[in-house]
Chains A and B, each alone.
Chain A
Amino acid sequence: MNWQPATALELIEQTARTKSIVFDVPGWGRHRAGQHVDVRLTAEDGYQAQRSYSIASAPEDRQIELTVERIDDGEVSPYLADELRPGDEIELRGPIGGYFAWEEAPGTPVFLVGGGSGVVPLRAMLRHHRASASTVPVRLLYSARSLEDVIYRDELTAADRGDVRLTLTRRQPAGWSGYGRRVDRELVAEVCWPAAERPLVYVCGPTGFVEAVAGALVSLGHDAARIRTERFGPTGGETP
């Protein structure tokens, strides 16, 4: 696994705190939806910082896209979200992470649960699902603070978005008919397929969120071996 140069091509504002960056990576092979890359930055005085970011794009997309949440006292995310310009070069390593990856294959339903920036790898899975014309039932439960904090908002609220359930935990717009609370056992029970249907589940987000959701699923009878988890740490964004 070697570090390779990646050139920023395009920046896309997602929410006030998140930005997508499209990269050109010469020699990039095909990744699997859900995988991530390690990003490394080097200052002029030699100081280096490294963080992991989930790949937001599907394997079928032409270029790779990362989505970065700006962590206030972060080291790497403020650079990527605020300073990086098209044409700038960073180093990355990957794709990596075969455990938290989904590849289209006939099988049981797929349940995706994302908290905050945890939606990033799940969005890659949804895009792969669509691009591969998969007939496997897939459903996303996405928890965000408010509608303004929903990453990929247009995509996930579009008429053809597929089976996406949003829960807005702090603020809901007037006339909101979706969920309006933190993901708890009851919400999971309502939204997820019953354990008897043996869904394959992917849970991603802040560590506390993942623990709570995974725990709820197991208590509802889901097989722990069919629950894949990826924890982003306390802040939910920058994984050191």
Chain B
Amino acid sequence: MTRITRGFHGRRRPDVDPARVPPGQYVTQDFPVLSAGPTPHGSLDSWSFTIRGQVDQPHTWTWDEFQALPRETVTRDIHCVTKWSKLDTVWTGVSLDTLLEGVETSAEYVTAFSDGGYTTNLPLEDLTGGRAWIAFSYDGEPLHAEHGGPARLLVPHLYFWKSAKWVRGLELQLEDEPGFWEGYGYHNYGDPWREQRYAGD
């Protein structure tokens, strides 16, 4: 039986409405940096975002073209599978609805791919309906490299490993293909409210 350590409570936890905290999560006020490899450092000159795969032709934006697109600032709660949640995080980015506008596809699945080789998979539907962004600003500042800058995928309704840091594009697919963590035993979908952390949950 694990013994309780007198007086230990981890980092100071704010009082929050429990209805905002998915099962098994602990709310934190800092923003932990999680990584599976070194932080990529590229230049904005060579940055691009591409939607490719099951499409008539790939759609690519340079950084300047990307910055010219309509942007939104949203406030969302984020939930990491390692059990920390951060509430009311503020992001600015381009909605996937905007990016997917005019993209004709019969694909039902997406693999997001990033600098450094990271991938994660989702149903295409979960990127639509105002639920996903390519975010380039956090808390009013340009997104720091350690948090996925210059731009990351932001899909707050799923565990945060799906919000791929250093994202460079989306591969639209007819078949679902497990991404990095999904291939190592994490849940294929990852709904924090159903506590879908691991495959089979």
A–B contact with Cβ pairs below 8 Å: the answer is: yes
Q: How far is the CA of A91 from the CA of B3 in the complex (A)?
A: 8
Q: Could you say which residues of chain A place their CB within 8 Å of the CB of B10?
A: 43, 47, 49, 75
Closest A-chain residue to B84, C-beta based?
A47
Q: B8-39, CB under 8 A of A: which get 1 and which 0?
A: 11110000000000000010001000000000
B2 touches A41 (CB 8 A): no
Interface stretch among A53-61, A82-90, A140-148, A167-175?
A82-90
B5 touches A43 (CB 8 A): yes
Q: Could you say which residues of chain B place their CB within 8 Å of the CB of A108?
A: none
The answer, yes or no, to whether B129 is at the interface (CB within 8 Å) is no
Q: Could you say which residues of chain A place their CB within 8 Å of the CB of B11?
A: 73, 75
Shortest CB-to-CB span from B119 to chain A, Å, is 24
Most buried by A among B6, B26, B30: B6
Q: A47-B26, A73-B30 are in contact. Are A42 and B7 (CB under 8 A)?
A: no
The answer, yes or no, to whether A186 is at the interface (CB within 8 Å) is no
Q: Could you say which residues of chain B place their CB within 8 Å of the CB of A79?
A: 5, 7-8
Q: A47-B26, A73-B30 are in contact. Are A88 and B9 (CB under 8 A)?
A: no
Q: A1-40, CB under 8 A of B: which get 1 and which 0?
A: 0010100000000000000000000000000000000001
The answer, yes or no, to whether B4 is at the interface (CB within 8 Å) is yes
B30 touches A89 (CB 8 A): no
Closest B-chain residue to A48, C-beta based?
B2
B3 touches A42 (CB 8 A): yes
The answer, yes or no, to whether A44 is at the interface (CB within 8 Å) is yes
Q: Could you say which residues of chain B place their CB within 8 Å of the CB of A5?
A: 3
A83 touches B7 (CB 8 A): yes
Shortest CB-to-CB span from A90 to chain B, Å, is 6
Q: How far is the CA of A83 from the CA of B6 in the complex (A)?
A: 9
B26 touches A90 (CB 8 A): no
Q: How far is the CA of A48 from the CA of B84 in the complex (A)?
A: 12
Q: Could you say which residues of chain A place their CB within 8 Å of the CB of B26?
A: 45, 47
A41 touches B5 (CB 8 A): yes
Instruction: From the candidates A3, A44, A73, A83, name the one contacting B4 in the complex (CB within 8 A).
Output: A44
Q: Could you say which residues of chain B place their CB within 8 Å of the CB of A83?
A: 7-8
Q: Could you say which residues of chain A place their CB within 8 Å of the CB of B30?
A: 73
A42 touches B9 (CB 8 A): no
Shortest CB-to-CB span from A68 to chain B, Å, is 14
Closest B-chain residue to A87, C-beta based?
B6
Most buried by B among A5, A41, A90, A91: A41
Q: How far is the CA of A42 from the CA of B11 in the complex (A)?
A: 12
B5 touches A88 (CB 8 A): yes
Q: Could you say which residues of chain A place their CB within 8 Å of the CB of B5?
A: 41-43, 79, 88-91
Closest B-chain residue to A80, C-beta based?
B8
Shortest CB-to-CB span from B55 to chain A, Å, is 41
Most buried by A among B2, B3, B8, B10: B8
In the A-B complex, list the 8 residue pairs whose CB atoms are closest, starting with the nearest: A41-B5, A41-B8, A83-B7, A43-B9, A79-B8, A47-B10, A42-B2, A43-B8
Other CB < 8 Å A-B pairs besides A84-B7, A91-B3, 10 of them?
A: A42-B3, A44-B9, A45-B26, A47-B9, A47-B10, A73-B11, A83-B7, A89-B3, A89-B6, A90-B5
Can you name 15 A-B residue pairings with CB atoms under 8 Å?
A41-B8, A42-B2, A42-B3, A42-B4, A42-B5, A43-B4, A43-B5, A43-B9, A44-B4, A48-B2, A79-B8, A85-B7, A88-B5, A89-B6, A91-B5
Residues on B close to A: CB < 8 A? 2-11, 26, 30, 83
